[in-house]
Amino acid sequence: MIAFRIDRRSGVATYLQLAHQVRQALRLGVLEPGDRLPTAKEVVEAIAVNPNTVLRAYRELEREGLVEPRPGQGTFVRRSLARPAAGADSPLRAEAAAWVGRARAAGLEREDVAALAASVLDDAFPLPDPPPPFIPAQKQKHTNTSTQEEDT
C-alpha cells in the first residue's frame, strides 16, 4: 500500500503530488497491476486533503492508462512502470542509497542532494534541442519593373 506525503510549501498542486507519487511507486515496483489504491476517504483521513483533490489525481492517472476505477470496489492499478534495475533489491538502489548516505555525512541537506541529483540527471539525460522557430516567408511586393515612356 502506498502512503502519501504532501509538501504544502512546494508550490506544486496537491493532486499533481499525489499522481507523481503513484507513478513513482509504479516505477519502483511498490505498486503492481491489480493493487488497489487507497480510497479518497482513506487519503483524506491520512493527509487531510479535499476528496476532490484525490479524485482529480486518480482521474489524471486513469487518463494515462495507469489505473482504472471499479465502481463499488475502488481504483486499481492497470499497468506497471517498474524496471528490474530500479527495484527495491536492485544493486543500483543500494549504490544510490550509499551515495545519499555519503552526501548526508558530508553535511548536505535534502534540497542539496536533490539539486545535485537533478543536475547530474540533466547532464545524463539532456532535453532535445527545441525546433527552430517558425518564421513565415515574407510576402514579396509585386512591382512593375518595366518603365513606360510617355510620348510627348
Q: Cell 511586393 appears where?
A: 141
Give the list of residues 6+ apart from residue 50 with CB closer than 8 angstroms, or none: 44
pLDDT per position as a tens digit, 28-62: 889 999 999 999 999 999 999 999 999 999 999 99
pTM of the model: 0.70
Contact (CB, 8 A) for 58 and 37: yes
Please indicate whether residue 89 or residue 139 has the higher confidence score (pLDDT): 89
